[in-house]
């Protein structure tokens, strides 16, 4: 992607807010929009589609926290000071809202039932219809993940539409409809070479299709729901098409200690061939405080010991099998001889953010000027080692990856492994490209040995190691919770949440049982006070969110999700 992408992507955002003097994009669809005063030309189709691009939040704006980073708070990767309600099993039925919002779907349907009346060529019309179908799928997919069965709406409804008072449609029917919709979107969208910079193209839609189908395929497989193989085949096919067409490649300059980090700490991702889509930040137009927030740890967050332990040693073996693992008596020994991606994701004293620090600022440490690092493992991924970016505060220009090619490779490897069709050639063209960039040994199927401390003891070793690679490569990119859900692995959230080994002599001000809590082995218990009995994620209900009470009252045909 070139500089033109950055400018166009930003213009899309600006247009979404400013186009049309009557504030059209903030109000549509209304009764005033009809064949007499709209649908005249391509520009109007584009204006309508522009509004949907705001879904790509990226690192947010100003001093707000980056949803890319905080998205993993709902998983076993991240440990914020205040526990996540869903991960802890403490969320309740909302009175209203809760994600049960249909405005985007209605806006998409409004367009899709009217765009054909615009007097422009079919290719132009189908391009924008492809964009709108893409955003409809994106929004609907989130609803299926959240609620399971949802109403399938193929037209925009009015206040008296009977569809407003019908039961939900089955997940099976809705996902089949979404698969058909994303296929239609791909058919109408332009390819990467001919697409306008900054707009949705076939490649972006293919990645979303692959992601959606991998989710649904594994979700069904691990719950014995019919149709899993169909979706896994679609995931493998969509990801393979992206691989075969060769528009992208893994960013690898031969510097394993920085190449991975540079995907996340670059203030300009322009030209990075791994980026299928990114959000650009530009001084004076769109800014983010992400680097400042990380360096100051303004949101009091950290990584889990579980995430730290998932990284292999540099010999390609798990810490339970490798002679190179130095143990975890200190955070320095724990981080030594490990996959270089660990040190590019998490900082520790004397390195990165903590270059001038002797110890991390855990609870009770008495260290001022920075937020609390509940586990001792401070996030470094997305931090820019540049004082200029730090002092920009809310006007930082750190670009945000939205979709990257690494995920395509991981989807392809996992889908093929789930189907039983993964060969060494599959692994060489996917997983091993990521390991090569990291400076790690290749994964060789014939040499894999089951990790006796695996979170998935009954899983075949190949699938187990592909899941490990996915966790490591995509750590702190807001994808881990979805993985736990689709694998039916929510029980992992109920494992004790641990931090680093606590050493009293290093933290003389910390008082065990008062300002800090530890377990019998001396590891920090970040929720020792707030969750003394641990997290209680209920797998019988928590994979799906509850419907809000007001919607159940308005439509008696709606039934609450099980367990709520």
Q: Say what the pLDDT of residue 291 is.
A: 97
pLDDT at 80: 98
Give the distance, in angstroms, between the CA of residue 52 and the centroid of all CA atoms in the same chain: 19
How far, in Å, CA of 86 to CA of 481, rounded?
10
Instruction: Using a pLDDT cut of 90, give the percent of the chain over it.
Output: 91
- Tally of CB atoms within 10 A around 537: 20
Burial of 334 (0-12, 13-18, 19+ CB in 10 A): buried
The pLDDT value recorded for residue 6 is 37
Instruction: For 464-497, write each residue's pLDDT tens digit.
Output: 999 999 999 999 999 999 999 999 999 999 999 9
Q: How far apart are CA 54 and CA 479, in angstroms?
A: 20
Quick one: pLDDT band at residue 249, thresholds 50, 70, 90?
very high
| Percent of the chain at pLDDT exceeding 70 | 94
Q: What is the Cα–Cα distance from 396 to 63, expressed in whole angstroms?
A: 9
Residue 357's pLDDT is what?
Answer: 87
121-149 pLDDT, tens digit each = 999 999 999 999 999 999 999 999 999 99
Distance separating alpha carbons of residues 312 and 54, to the nearest angstrom? 38
Residues 439-447, mean pLDDT to the nearest whole number = 98
- β pairing state of 400-404 and 275-279: antiparallel
Give the separation between CA 127 and CA 534, rounded to whole angstroms.
50
Nearest to 67 by CA among 536, 442, 400, 471: 400
Distances, alpha carbon 251 to alpha carbons 248, 261, 269, 324, 527, in Å: 9, 10, 11, 28, 38
| pLDDT attached to residue 33 | 52
Closest by CA position to 481, among listed 85, 64, 55, 58: 85
Position of tokens 């995920």?
407
| Average pLDDT for the chain | 93
Neighbours of 358 (CB within 10 A): 9
Phi-psi region of 393 (alpha: psi -120 to 50; beta: other; left: phi over 0): left
If you average pLDDT over residues 490-514, what whole number do you get? Answer: 97
- At 158 the pLDDT is 82
Hey, which residues does 176 pair with through a beta bridge? none
Instruction: Please give the residue that has the higher pLDDT: either 444 or 33.
Output: 444
| First-last CA distance in the chain | 46
Cβ pair 108, 96 in contact under 8 A: no
pLDDT digits (tens, 9 = 90+) for 339-355: 999 999 999 999 999 99
**CA–CA dist 436, 434 (Å, integer):** 5
What pLDDT is attached to residue 150?
Answer: 98
Q: Which of 156-170, 217-231, 365-379, 416-430 has the lowest mean pLDDT?
A: 156-170
CA 94 to chain centre: 24
Write out pLDDT tens, residues 6-36.
333 444 443 343 333 333 223 334 444 555 5
């Amino acid at each position: 992607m070139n500089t033109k992408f950055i400018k166009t992507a930003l213009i899309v955002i600006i247009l979404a807010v400013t186009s049309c003097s009557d504030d059209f994009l903030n109000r549509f669809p209304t009764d005033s929009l009809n064949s007499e005063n709209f649908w005249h030309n391509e520009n109007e189709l584009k204006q309508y589609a522009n509004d949907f691009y705001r879904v790509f939040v990226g690192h947010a704006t100003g001093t707000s926290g980056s949803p890319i980073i905080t998205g993993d708070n709902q998983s076993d990767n991240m440990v914020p000071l205040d526990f996540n309600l869903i991960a802890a099993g403490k969320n309740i039925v909302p009175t209203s809202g809760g994600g049960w919002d249909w405005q985007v779907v209605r806006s998409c349907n409004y367009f899709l039932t009217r765009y054909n009346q615009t007097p422009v060529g079919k290719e132009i019309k189908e391009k924008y219809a492809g964009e709108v179908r893409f955003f409809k799928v994106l929004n609907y997919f989130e609803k299926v993940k959240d609620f399971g069965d949802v109403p399938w709406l193929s037209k925009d409804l009015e206040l008296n539409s009977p569809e407003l008072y019908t039961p939900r449609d089955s997940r099976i029917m809705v996902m089949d409809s979404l698969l058909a919709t994303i296929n239609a979107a791909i058919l109408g969208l332009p390819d990467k070479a001919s697409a306008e910079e900054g707009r949705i193209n076939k490649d972006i839609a293919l990645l979303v299709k692959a992601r959606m189908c991998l989710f649904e395929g594994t979700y069904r497989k691990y719950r014995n729901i019919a149709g899993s193989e169909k979706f896994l085949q679609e995931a493998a096919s969509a990801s393979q098409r992206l691989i075969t067409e060769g528009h992208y490649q893994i960013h690898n300059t031969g510097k394993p200690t920085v190449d991975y980090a540079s995907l996340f700490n670059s203030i300009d991702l322009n030209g990075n061939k791994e980026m299928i889509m990114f959000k650009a930040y530009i001084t004076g137009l769109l800014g983010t405080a992400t680097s400042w927030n990380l360096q100051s740890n303004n949101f009091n967050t950290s990584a889990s010991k579980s995430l730290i332990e998932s990284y292999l040693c540099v010999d390609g073996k798990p810490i339970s099998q490798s002679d190179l693992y130095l143990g975890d008596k200190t955070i320095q020994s724990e981080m030594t001889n490990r996959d270089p991606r660990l040190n590019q994701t998490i900082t520790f004293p004397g390195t990165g953010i903590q270059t001038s620090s002797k110890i991390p600022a855990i609870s009770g440490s008495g260290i001022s000027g920075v937020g609390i690092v509940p586990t001792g493992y401070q996030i470094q991924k997305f931090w820019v080692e540049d004082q200029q970016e730090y002092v920009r505060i809310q006007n930082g220009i750190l670009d945000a990856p939205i979709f990257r090619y690494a995920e395509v490779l991981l989807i392809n490897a996992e889908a093929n492994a789930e189907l039983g069709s993964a060969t060494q050639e599959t692994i060489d063209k996917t997983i091993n490209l990521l390991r090569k960039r990291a400076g790690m040994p290749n994964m060789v199927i014939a040499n894999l040995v089951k990790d006796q401390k695996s979170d998935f003891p009954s899983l075949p070793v190949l699938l187990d190691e592909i899941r490990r690679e996915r966790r490591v490569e995509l750590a702190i990119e807001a994808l881990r919770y979805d993985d736990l859900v689709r694998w039916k692995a929510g029980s992992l959230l109920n494992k004790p949440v641990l931090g680093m080994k606590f050493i009293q002599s290093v933290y003389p001000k910390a008082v065990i049982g008062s300002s800090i809590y530890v377990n019998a082995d001396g590891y920090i218990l970040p929720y020792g006070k707030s969750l003394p009995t641990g997290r209680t994620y209920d797998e019988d209900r928590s994979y799906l969110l509850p419907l809000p009470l007001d919607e159940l009252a308005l439509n008696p045909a709606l039934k609450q999700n099980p367990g709520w």
